[in-house]
Amino acid sequence: GAVTVTVHRTEAGADREIKDTVQESFRCPNQELGGGQRLSGLMSLQFDQKDVRNADASLFEAGKYTGPESGGVQDYVWSKSRIGPVTTAVSVKGAKGYTNTDLLRIAAEGGAKVLYRVELELK
């Protein structure tokens, strides 16, 4: 998995990144990542603001991952959130012995920790 934090000049820029991400998965449900890595069947869902408690905006993406040493097709989950002008992203690639529920839990826990640190820095 991986974690990415991006600081934008404005909240509008960060919000645009969230919206563009959702649109990209609709336009490109299959993506080549390089190095023989591939995502397929990507689907994004932006959460309704009333359902998001720890961020200004959040979305979730899921699909399948294949790549070197992946052991075949694996589940893939990714979450992206925004607090003010900062976006955070957490991706988790599956592996033998891990269920999709495990990946969702790992992504949610990792995302919550990163958002908490961002919130502290913005205060």
**Model pLDDT for residues 46-55, shown as the tens digit of each residue:** 777 777 778 8
**Residue 21: per-residue pLDDT:** 85
**Residue 69: per-residue pLDDT:** 84
Q: How many domains does the chain have?
A: 1
**Residue 48: per-residue pLDDT:** 74
**Residue 14: per-residue pLDDT:** 95
**Residue 111: per-residue pLDDT:** 92
Provide CB contacts within 8 A for 89, sequence distance 6+. Answer: 2, 3, 4, 5, 6, 78, 79, 80, 81
Provide CB contacts within 8 A for 22, sequence distance 6+. Answer: 44, 45, 46, 59
pLDDT less than 70: residues of the chain? none
3-13 confidence digits (pLDDT tens):
999 999 999 99
| Domain span including residue 115 | 2-122
**Residue 24: per-residue pLDDT:** 85
**Residue 36: per-residue pLDDT:** 93
Residue indicated by tokens 């913005």: 122
